[in-house]
Chain A
């Protein structure tokens, strides 16, 4: 039985165009071309640069946290309040304003139109607005650093009641601006997200059937649908919490005596917020992970010179993971005080997700098997992704299996797990993608030596940061602690040697963080002085490598849009002259294939 019709043999027949091509809006001024641009490629760069800029801030915050953990009290401005504010802002920026924005706004914008053979997003004007709204959300977020009380310190999960009570820093301006910023982010994202979905569904080149799309497009497409369905839950919880905070409603607020004061709230449920938050929060994990899955599938196939193994199952795995991600949310809440019988259901659904996820891992590894593996910089990062993802995915089974989660929840095991699976591995995929597509974006190669140095320090360093951290968590060290040693001293079960681990982790973190400067310098340096790359330096089959110009001009494909005759992974086809056949090459041309 076929899961769906897909054929790996190229076909000559391409359906005729149903509607005539429309002329794009062409900007006439410099401002219209580079600032208020409606070109998805420029918008992609705007998203990427903004996301990476704010991501650098989050990186600095993480180094400050690590310094406090390794050498408590060494830096005087890291107070207990500042520490949890750093924790909060680091998490929120990395998850939402960096990774979500970069994968969907950055890679989504750049790759979707090029990879499906479209001239641009279907709603270019809305696409432009989407970026500017995102920028506004970022600025409001940053503004909270300069308000009285500073940014919110309630953790990136923003759990009420503490988020809006005075025992938490930033419970006034900080949390209000955070909620506003998130709300604006969701509005901006929705504009971009609708664009990505409609473009994939309506603007594919002739012959680009859904089952011929590159996995990158499938993954970003699915992630966008998840985001469109999940972000409203975040939006309403941000609005409801703001109402509790500013107008005195009691959605999430029961009767409370806060620091000696009876509050006017009654009857609300803090657990309700957690359900809403994680109904968004768990799909969010896959909003970040799925694009990484897709990108890595692309990189492994191109650089191993081999078709992706089990394409159909890969597509179905993406879709199934996306669907299941909406029925596992309460595995973040096993010890939240919700009805304990929910644990049976959510542990089961969570472990079911392990099956399609494992299939993806098998297929990546089997793609390497009998390939002709070129260890280019993008390939190194892709393999680094697979290695760290296996690690992070497996520790997810610990935490998903409800009873095993009980001793591990709220410890450093959780911190290590989610960093490995949704920070380390996606960021390695991001780096791989940047090294892979940079030649298309600029027409020049990134410097190979700097790239390799960047890879080795980042990959090995990150693994050394997070692997030992699991064991601190198994021992029981709780997360979000300003210091393990409180006014009653160190808990007697934490040996002095644990501090050694903390120092080691911090040193690795400082090394990894400072190595990112090499990457940034490489981006800057190679843009003008890198080796010219030509249009298709990797010998890749997908449409973005077949453009007339590199970098592609406005409209992407010059005079005529490509027609697609085959799937995206015709590498090393037996009998073909070269070891790849682009998607827009018809079967009748001399490819050695039976026609």
Chain B
């Protein structure tokens, strides 16, 4: 009868765990409360079935435990019972599917007045684009992407000139209005994922995907990548800031348009050289691969890096000095450290930016 007791403990324990555990949905920050409601309905129906069937099974195991003098009943089938069970299951399934499809119909219909924001994924950081004053996003093509045009906008498309480009680690959204997130990937699959807004969607290279939501709570939220995208997947982060309309507009004004960016404005702004370098390291996604605390990463950690002797893939050794660091930022595969894959993209930086980054790297090296 150990089995009976253990099964009862597991059933009761599962139910208690559900109600007592501190690990449950994050507080919602979007209009998708209906998703939580369908989840709750599913939990109620499935929880009932889980307890009912298992309790019945435990009762049967106890009541009909082996006795030498007993014989099992011979009952090949019972059509009436089977019919009832099928009908009962069908009703339960409809009770979960109907509200689910109802909410899905809202999920696929984007409100017409939704504000457009584009999230662009690449290994392993996020950038963003807003349509600018004309409300229209300029056309893009992966083939247009290069050092001076990292977003791949079409230079001849007038709609693109006023597009606001955000290379920083933050995307800001005004509270209360629907947002249509357009998703674009430069390289592999990614997934724009903020648990608090519930909705998510993959980024697929070669196509534009989308989903929509209305932010309902001011605050800062971590943006994660939810679709495996290679070595730095776990580190592909960004921040989503939801704020009042005025704050949002004020922030938006500080971001460069495409035209400004082509003119060379709006690169690193203000702060000491080290602060500028830190911002660059975040914007360029350096720290997705290079840790600052000495922990293992996709690339060598920056902690204690300067002055170290590294063994290269060809077996020779090199002293990590200014020249080596600069070369490795601009041309990463020239002298590759042993044990690391040749996967770092060459950074497209101006001399000033390179100096800022070097300053930050040295301060991080300690």
CB-CB under 8 A for A569 and B76, given A475-B195, A486-B234: yes
Decide if A270 touches B82 in the complex (CB within 8 Å). no
- A-side contacts of B72, CB under 8 Å: 304-306, 370-372, 571-572, 579
CB-CB under 8 A for A493 and B222, given A401-B100, A476-B195, A572-B73: yes
B200 to chain A, nearest CB (A): 6
B228 at the interface (CB under 8 A from A): yes
| Alpha-carbon distance A309/B73, docked complex (angstroms) | 11
| Alpha-carbon distance A543/B285, docked complex (angstroms) | 65
Decide if B234 touches A254 in the complex (CB within 8 Å). no
Tell which of B46, B193, B341 touches A394, judged by Cβ atoms closer than 8 Å. Answer: B46
Tell which of B75, B86, B107, B187 touches A359, judged by Cβ atoms closer than 8 Å. Answer: B86
Interface string of A528-569 (1 = CB under 8 A from B): 000000000000000000000000000000000000000001
Centre residue among A255, A352, A407 by max chain B CB count within 10 A? A407
Tell which of B10, B104, B201, B348 touches A347, judged by Cβ atoms closer than 8 Å. Answer: B104
| Alpha-carbon distance A373/B61, docked complex (angstroms) | 7
Decide if A395 touches B46 in the complex (CB within 8 Å). yes
Interface positions, chain B 331-366, Cβ under 8 Å from A, are: 341-346, 348
B6 at the interface (CB under 8 A from A): yes
B297 to chain A, nearest CB (A): 6
A458 at the interface (CB under 8 A from B): no
B3 at the interface (CB under 8 A from A): yes
- B-side contacts of A476, CB under 8 Å: 25-26, 195
Tell which of A149, A340, A404, A493 touches B196, judged by Cβ atoms closer than 8 Å. Answer: A493
Decide if B57 touches A403 in the complex (CB within 8 Å). no
Number of interface residues of A (CB under 8 A): 122
| Alpha-carbon distance A401/B41, docked complex (angstroms) | 12
Decide if A369 touches B60 in the complex (CB within 8 Å). yes
A325 to chain B, nearest CB (A): 17
Interface positions, chain B 50-102, Cβ under 8 Å from A, are: 50, 53-54, 56-57, 60-61, 64-67, 70-78, 81-82, 85-86, 89-90, 93, 96-97, 100-101
- A-side contacts of B57, CB under 8 Å: 365, 368, 383, 386-387
B155 at the interface (CB under 8 A from A): no
- A-side contacts of B25, CB under 8 Å: 407, 474-476
Decide if A354 touches B93 in the complex (CB within 8 Å). yes
| Alpha-carbon distance A394/B105, docked complex (angstroms) | 23
- A-side contacts of B201, CB under 8 Å: 335, 337
Considering the complex, give the chain A residue whose CB is closest to the CB of B105: A344
A269 at the interface (CB under 8 A from B): yes
Number of interface residues of B (CB under 8 A): 116
B229 at the interface (CB under 8 A from A): yes
CB-CB under 8 A for A407 and B97, given A255-B206, A259-B343, A347-B104: no
Tell which of A159, A169, A572 touches B231, judged by Cβ atoms closer than 8 Å. Answer: A169
CB-CB under 8 A for A80 and B298, given A311-B77, A471-B17: yes
Interface positions, chain B 292-323, Cβ under 8 Å from A, are: 292-293, 295-298
Tell which of A72, A76, A365, A394 touches B56, judged by Cβ atoms closer than 8 Å. Answer: A365
B: residues with CB less than 8 A from A are 3, 6-7, 10, 14, 17-18, 21-26, 34-35, 38-39, 42, 45-46, 49-50, 53-54, 56-57, 60-61, 64-67, 70-78, 81-82, 85-86, 89-90, 93, 96-97, 100-101, 103-105, 107-108, 122-124, 141-143, 145, 152, 183, 186-189, 191, 193, 195-196, 198-207, 209, 222, 224-235, 237, 287-288, 290-293, 295-298, 341-346, 348
Beyond known contacts A162-B188, A354-B89, A493-B26: 6 more, CB 8 A cutoff: A73-B295, A257-B152, A337-B207, A344-B104, A391-B14, A395-B46
Sample (10) of A-B pairs whose CB atoms are under 8 Å apart = A154-B228, A161-B188, A165-B188, A165-B230, A169-B341, A313-B82, A373-B65, A410-B193, A474-B23, A501-B23
A: residues with CB less than 8 A from B are 8, 72-73, 76, 79-81, 84, 149, 153-155, 159, 161-162, 165-169, 254-262, 267-271, 304-307, 309-313, 335-337, 340-341, 343-344, 347-348, 351-352, 354-355, 358-359, 361-363, 365-366, 368-375, 380, 383, 386-387, 390-391, 394-395, 397-398, 401-404, 406-407, 409-411, 456, 460, 463, 467-468, 471-472, 474-476, 478, 480-484, 486-488, 491-493, 495, 497-498, 501, 569, 571-574, 579
